[in-house]
């Protein structure tokens, strides 16, 4: 990636491109107001650089164009009728001068206004560059910047709540607190280098206690991450089973719309179909697959190959069995395929005369993972949903209000810091040299710092902000 200067003035279309009521062109940097002065004609003749910060103004964007072929004379042309907002440094999203131009939606008006600001000296913003500047200029730390992306992507209220807490700095505060405790014991260890033997004993007892407190704090944060990462990334739930057991019907029921084709003909679903649903606050990426069976049809066979591949990635498998038929070799083959997976066994079509032996299933699966439903009669659907959420959470869910670690990057760093602290504790107990203890402590401090963006490398920043959309 080419490295651009933070001194540049950047511009982007911040709304999604396409038909919409309004489109926003956003500018940030030292030339924002100057560029706005050149292209904005307000009704009262005042220039954007003269506007009070956080005020909104009606006017027109005016661009000049050459008048006719072979003619050098320029005429002013109204590009769009807009509302322009000025937010002056340092109280803005990026801590720089920011101008937002609300244009008429649709592709043309927005594109022309954008082209015009580029023509007057702004450059196209990289993905996430506005938020990156907010970080580089010290308005938010790195974990808060990451939360901005999580907010944009949040699929459920609980994911949103977790991202919001992080954006408001709850995680940062906790991490900085733990980091300060590490700094505190580091200075105690440094100071003790010159202590005589007998004083050292007493001093280090206190330090060991502190290291243990830090380790406990780190552990309880790490514990929240199983759930937190699910909130941020969602879980992949793959519906599997033999043809005609009701997989696509179940998918449609959970989606609350007729997304996939349902017919009595086995082999109707040829391809895997993925959609995200919100199941009691959990973002679930639900996949309907082609029924796994022995077939000679080439398209169906490809579908089955994809089903198996999806099953390989699945966080949980939703196995659909047909209550009106006996368990056969096809079922047994799929049961074997998912034996190491988290799973819910869904016995469907219980409205029909039963042939299936549920007691035999209880010999294979945990009883509370088996649910008996009828998609057709909407029977026991709530019970099935509960079984799915229980399998995801493996117990009760934390309150969404409390702090959860949602990001795998943060989790990995917390685990590293915990290992560093455990090594500090061990060295203190074994009375290893203070120099060695200091090295581990410094590493713990470094790893915790990376979460909030202290001494973080450009590569990591590029990776994090590269995931953002343009204009945020």
Ligand X SMILES: Nc1nc2c(ncn2[C@@H]2O[C@H](COP(=O)(O)OP(=O)(O)O)[C@@H](O)[C@H]2O)c(=O)[nH]1
Q: At what angle do helices 32-39 and 107-119 cross, to 10 degrees?
A: 120
Residues that contact ligand X, how many (by CB under 6 A): 21
269 part of the interface to Mg ion, by CB under 5 A: yes
What's the residue count for the chain?
A: 472
Residues 6+ apart with CB under 8 A from 332: none
Least gap, CB of 296 to Mg ion (angstroms): 19
Q: Which of residues 48 and 291 has its CB atom nearest to ligand X in the complex?
A: 291
Q: Which of residues 129 and 300 has its CB atom nearest to ligand X in the complex?
A: 300
247 part of the interface to ligand X, by CB under 6 A: yes
Binding segment toward ligand X, per CB under 6 A, in 95-103, 224-232, 242-250, 270-278: 242-250
Q: Which of residues 122 and 254 has its CB atom nearest to ligand X in the complex?
A: 254
Sequence-distant contacts of 151-158: CB under 8 A, at least 24 apart: 152/468, 152/469, 152/472, 153/232, 154/283, 155/234, 155/276, 155/278, 155/283, 156/231, 156/278, 156/281, 156/282, 156/283, 157/278, 157/281, 157/400, 158/231, 158/281, 158/282, 158/400
Return the H-helix or E-strand segment holding 181.
helix 170-191
Q: Map residues 249-288 to x or -, x wherever contact with ligand X holds by CB under 6 A.
A: x------------xxx---xx-------------------
353 part of the interface to ligand X, by CB under 6 A: no
Q: Which of residues 292 and 344 has its CB atom nearest to Mg ion in the complex?
A: 292
Q: Which residues lie across from 366 on neighbouring strands?
A: none
Burial (Cβ within 10 Å: 0-12, 13-18, ≥19) of residue 183: middle
248 part of the interface to ligand X, by CB under 6 A: yes
- Among 228, 246, 449, 471, which residue interacts with ligand X (rule: CB under 6 A)? 246
248 part of the interface to Mg ion, by CB under 5 A: yes
Across the beta sheet with 98-104, the strand order is 40-42, 55-66, 74-87, 98-104, 22-28, 10-13, 123-124
Residue from 226, 251, 252, 254 nearest 241 by CA = 251
348 part of the interface to ligand X, by CB under 6 A: yes
144 binds, among ligand X, Mg ion, none (CB under 5 to 8 A by kind): none
Cis peptide bond prior to 320, omega within 30° of 0: no
- Among 245, 420, 423, 447, which residue interacts with ligand X (rule: CB under 6 A)? 245
Q: Map residues 372-391 to x or -, x wherever contact with ligand X holds by CB under 6 A.
A: --xxx---------------
- Among 315, 330, 351, 385, which residue interacts with ligand X (rule: CB under 6 A)? 351
Binding site for Mg ion (CB under 5 A): 247-248, 269
Binding site for ligand X (CB under 6 A): 241, 243-249, 262-264, 268-269, 291, 348-349, 351-352, 374-376
């Amino acid at each position: 990636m080419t490295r651009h200067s933070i001194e540049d003035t950047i511009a982007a279309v911040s709304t999604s491109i396409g038909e919409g009521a309004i489109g926003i062109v956003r500018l940030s940097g030292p030339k924002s107001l100057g560029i706005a002065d050149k292209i904005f004609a307000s009704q009262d003749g005042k220039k954007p650089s003269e506007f009070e910060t956080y005020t909104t103004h009606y006017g027109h964007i005016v661009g000049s164009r050459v008048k006719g072929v072979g003619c050098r004379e320029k005429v002013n042309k109204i590009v769009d009728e807009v509302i322009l907002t000025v937010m002056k440094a340092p109280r803005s999203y990026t801590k720089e001068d920011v101008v937002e131009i609300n244009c008429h939606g649709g592709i043309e008006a927005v594109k022309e206004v954008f082209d015009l600001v580029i023509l007057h000296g702004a450059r196209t913003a990289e993905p996430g560059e506005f938020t990156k500047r907010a970080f580089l200029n010290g308005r938010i730390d790195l974990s808060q910047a990451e939360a901005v992306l999580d907010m944009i992507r949040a699929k459920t209220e609980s994911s949103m709540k977790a991202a919001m807490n992080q954006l408001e700095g709850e995680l940062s505060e906790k991490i900085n607190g733990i980091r300060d405790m590490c700094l505190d014991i580091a200075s105690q260890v440094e100071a003790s280098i010159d202590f005589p033997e007998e004083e050292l004993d007493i001093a280090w007892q206190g330090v060991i206690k502190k290291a243990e407190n830090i380790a406990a704090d780190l552990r309880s944060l790490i514990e929240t991450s199983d759930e937190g990462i699910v909130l941020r990334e969602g879980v992949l739930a793959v519906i599997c089973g033999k043809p005609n057991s009701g997989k696509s019907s179940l998918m449609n029921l959970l989606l609350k719309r007729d997304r996939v084709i349902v017919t009595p003909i086995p082999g109707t679903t040829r391809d895997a179909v993925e959609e995200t649903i919100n199941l009691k606050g959990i973002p679930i990426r639900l996949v309907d697959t082609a029924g796994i069976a022995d077939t000679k049809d080439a398209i169906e066979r490809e579908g089955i190959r994809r089903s198996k591949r999806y099953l390989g990635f699945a966080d949980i498998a939703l196995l659909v069995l047909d209550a009106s038929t006996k368990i056969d070799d096809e079922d047994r083959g799929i049961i074997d395929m998912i034996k190491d997976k988290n799973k819910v066994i869904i016995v469907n079509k219980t409205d029909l005369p039963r042939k299936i032996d549920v007691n035999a299933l209880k010999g294979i699966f945990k009883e509370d993972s088996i649910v008996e439903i009828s998609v057709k009669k909407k029977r026991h659907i709530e019970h099935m949903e509960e079984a799915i959420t229980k399998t995801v959470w493996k117990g009760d869910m934390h309150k969404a209000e409390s702090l959860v670690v949602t990001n795998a990057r943060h989790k990995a760093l917390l685990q590293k810091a915990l290992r560093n602290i455990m090594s500090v504790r061990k060295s203190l107990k074994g009375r290893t040299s203070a120099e060695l203890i200091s090295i581990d402590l410094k590493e713990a401090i470094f790893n915790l710092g990376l979460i909030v963006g202290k001494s973080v490398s450009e590569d990591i920043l590029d990776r994090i902000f590269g995931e953002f959309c343009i204009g945020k």
